[in-house]
Structure 1
Amino acid sequence: MKTIFELKQDLATLGQQVQKQNDLIMQKATDPAVTSEDLTGMQKAKEDLQQRFDIVKKQHDQMEAEQKQSLSKGQFTESEDPKQKVIDAKATLIRKTIAKEAVPLDVRQALGDDDASKGGKFLPKTVANDIISEPVVKNPLREVSTITNIPNLEIPKVTFTLDDDDFIADMETAKELKAKGDTVVFSRHKFKVYTGISETILAGTNTNLVSTVELNLQSGVAAKERKVAFATAPKTGEEHMSFYDEKNVKIKKVEGEDLYKSIKAAIADLHEDYRENAKIMMKYADYLNIIETLANGSATLYTAQPEQILGKPVIFTDAAEVPVVGDFSYSHFNYDIGSLYEQDKDIKTGVNLFVVTAWFDHQIKLASAFRLATVKKA
């Protein structure tokens, strides 16, 4: 088989012959002594040379493309744009994972992977950070809670103390610190997020592939956060993550004759240190019931802002079976190191699955910073 260099030489020779034959035809076409049969023969010779040239060029172009691909193997991008480099690196990581191939070192380094040299399958920092931020399926707690990505996180429950007094005016907080300690230690709880990738997406552009995968993973992570925080029947080991946990968290319940009065009472029951930054997390349907009761046929209240009605900012989520009132900065999500990315395939549909396994924890740092607004049973 000829080398690509030999094919280049053949192309140059055939190209010259085609051009020479074309010039000859143009010259003879104006000569009355040349018959039409002679011109037809020369034209046929030119077409034959052109056909040979096309065959050699096709083989040359194919070998050249294969050579470029071979030379660029392991190089995930040629772009000079830093953002595009990251997108291309993510796309390479996804495709290599789906193909069950090793992810090149330069790709890992571009994504901030510190553990590449150890041969581990840790999720690179850039991918991890993007997955746990800006989800599409919303977890409303993200707007008000603390989100960190720190291994073995341990923090104080109270951020400052004074040396000349008891420093905690709220007796419930003081009792809680005495009973549970003054620090919060975050543990590791594993969960998996799956995203299906069709063959067309996998074979598509890097930007489309990365945006599709990240969109789905972000949504899955946010849905998990919301689920554990508002679980009325938490899984074993996840009880402490829920605002409704009566065993570990034990948030105080404040009752009222109706939901409106119980929310007002819950706000008033908070110590002023928490009341100032308090917000209300509740179902939109519950809010509409409150408005319907208060309006009594008038349309005025329907146009008012929820904060004007209830006295504190309101965040709606259907996950809040019982309204939660409090300072949500004491709600803290932390993601630990050691996320894994894996590949699987749904044999029924043939869709490839990109799987992320992560470890996280949700801690309600001070139960005394919250209240549950409940309605008295008739």
Structure 2
Amino acid sequence: MPVLRQIRERFAKEKPLTGLRVAACLHVTSETANLLLALQDGGAETAICASNPLSTQDDVAAALVHEYGIPTFAIKGEDSETYYSHINSALDTKPHITMDDGADLVATLHTDRTDALDGLIGGSEETTTGVIRLRSLAEAGKLKYPIIAVNDADTKHFFDNRYGTGQSTLDGITRATNILWAGKTVVLAGYGWCGRGVALRARGMGAQTVVTEINPIRALEAAMDGHQVMSMDNAAKIGDIFITLTGGIKAVGRQHIEVMKDGAILANSGHFNVEIDIPALEELADGKQEVRPFVDEYLMGDGRRLNLLGEGRLINLAAAEGHPSAVMDMSFADQALSAEYLAQFAHSLKPQVYDVPRDIDEEVGRLKLLSMGITIDTLTAEQEEYLGSWEVGT
């Protein structure tokens, strides 16, 4: 993670986070560990809890505690009660800055743990679902402190969402099932940056790709990109593999489950396990069995078998290792620099959701290019004058 390493080296010298406590609710992986170490080198006291019950790498969690003294509240496979007790443990550290992936930390702060709001100066949010929740909170006038939408930075969603999710989703499904992608009909619910990435890679593996959407512009883009576009009502009848990436609820619902073909595979790569209607699947099935790790086969009343992967949770982290470090390098660089920005300017920010400052976004891109040995052009004085002038025409 060369970009984050460069930031970490500067942080170690300048200590821009001295005196601040940071509580993170993120996927506890080796990539996240590098972010925490950068924050620690910047002078911050850090603590972390898991943002997903199935994404924790237990060896990383142990190393953070025993090797680096970072309080870590995460166990792979933890139940819901333990999950929220871990969130509360992270909040017990009385953070000044929060880092969230899905907004569960912020939601808890605004409901059950309002006592921990004192002293908070700002936060950041890593993923699309979390930003949606936070913007809703802000629009209702209930957000209590400023949040930077790291997810919306170009160096995050262009790369992490498209290239990271695109590769790691197929990786997780392949590890769980050992399927052959070539010739399969893959139905992708949602054509945001994550959906674009998964669709591109599924087609590259020889699959026939079908996209379902609610946004007419994205649906048109999917069609122009060469994918079949149709409603989920129609796609449900022909799909071999269904992958949800909407950030919403019940993208695959009861009516779709009722008409799926025998042997269909259902996987989710959205943040929460609500994109597939699992309660309906449970109700419609006569029974289920685990046929492989992370694969539950549901036997339907009419004899069909449907396979749910990773309990409907993020399949790239449930059954694989998540995004490659090369893309998380940029996402976590955005997180680190956003924390530095909050340390400097949070006092002047209102309780709203903010974009990552453009100069931070571009700095991350510049550092990434530098690490790759790529040089780009810069404008000459004459070119800058031309672009900044309205008098010069034909």
TM-score band by shorter chain is: under 0.3
Identify the structure with bigger relative contact order (alpha carbons < 8 Å, sequence gap 6+): 1
Name the TM-score, length of structure 1 as normaliser: 0.22
Name the TM-score, length of structure 2 as normaliser: 0.22
Larger radius of gyration, structure 1 or 2? 1
